[in-house]
Amino acid sequence: MSDQRFRKGRRLTAIVALGCLGALLAPSSALAARTTRTGDAVQQHLNQLVRDDEFPAALATVRDRDGRFHDYTAGVGDLKTGTRVPADGYVRIGSNTKTFTAVVVLQLVGEGKIRLDAPIETYLPNLIRGDGIDGRHITVRQLLQHTSGLPNYTSMLANGLLPYLHRYFEPRELLDLALAQKADFAPGTKWEYSNTNYAVAGLLVEKVTGRPISEEITRRVIDRIGLRHTYFPGVGDQTIREPHPHGYHHDDPKAPLTDVTVMDPSFGWAAGELISTPSDVDRFFTALLAGRLLAPAQLKEMRTTVPAPSLGTGVRYGLGLTSTPLSCGGLVWGHGGDIDGFSTTNGATDDGRAATIAVTELLSNETQLGHVTSALDTALCR
């Protein structure tokens, strides 16, 4: 959900970005070109994440310029049994979901059913109202770009997730949690990350299409490009498909880790509920930025960015998409995502390099963030 506790709900995504590859391999070709490596620089970074940063597990998939996928693992997949980490296992991908949601909204823009610069009031009349909050003055673009000023509904998790671990939230309930707060700023006057923007975007899609956002993401994105290992959990589904590493969390840093693999992810909804694998995350962003999901005009809008200073030096935010400088030059495009139990950092370049790294506990300090982003940079710049 991109809610790092040590940034008061803001995602620390210094170099977190995904996929602008030239071509998307079919799933069968990608699997045929897969290898597992154990001794190179990326593996050394993953070993460090487990050894020095004490993440229970780390797993990564890197796509090289030739379209070959390489899998890496470190640590243990289940602290109780000590089982190995499954290569390219399923993980909760948190706020990478926002990019899927943004794609659906932009497809509807291309179909003439939504206008980016129309007030959200046009589609959801009399819904977005609160202290300093008025849907007549918030545009669809501002929602997708986090410039709306809507307060973050996930502030309700400020004191910890564990009391809500198996709690189901209706989408409208998430919005009500936000609207009970005061606006963060006037629409369009600054940038600030808020999951509420994408809860509203999900409601927008449902109003315009008459179908659930989960169904629209599946039909318009997942099935369209053949993502065989990406899915939106059904209502009440608290599990993760096999194979997967376990995810861990503690509300109190002094307390032992709790296994949160089985949890209700409904608080993420259109902002952070999807489950996927590292290689499928790479495939999604590859297809997106190769033009397989959006027409050129909508892809251009998505890649039109504003500064996002709280995400890291040089990071800019488009419409559900970030751009970040690499140490070896150029940009990586993507998003990244956190949800309790899992943190995913990912990126891809215009010349065909791509990588996704997942750890099985949220980052809790700047040192861990530096090590994860350094691992991604190494994967893309080696």
Which tokens hold the place of 153?
């509904």
Which tokens hold the place of 194?
């808020």
Is residue 54 a contact partner of residue 256, using CB atoms and an 8 Å limit?
no
Which string of b and e fits 149-172 if b means at least 16 CB within 10 Å? bbbbbbbbbeeebbebbeeebebe
Catalytic residue from among 2, 95, 155, 214: 95
Q: What is the dihedral of CA 221, 172, 322, 353, to 10 degrees?
A: -30
Is residue 21 a contact partner of residue 286, using CB atoms and an 8 Å limit?
yes
Which tokens hold the place of 382?
């080696």
d(C-alpha 246, C-alpha 91), whole Å: 9
Number of Cβ within 10 Å of residue 26's Cβ equals 11
d(C-alpha 157, C-alpha 379), whole Å: 33
d(C-alpha 305, C-alpha 197), whole Å: 16
Q: Does the annotation mark 95 as catalytic?
A: yes
Distance of CA 147 to the CA centre of its chain: 18
Number of Cβ within 10 Å of residue 128's Cβ equals 24
Active site residues: 95
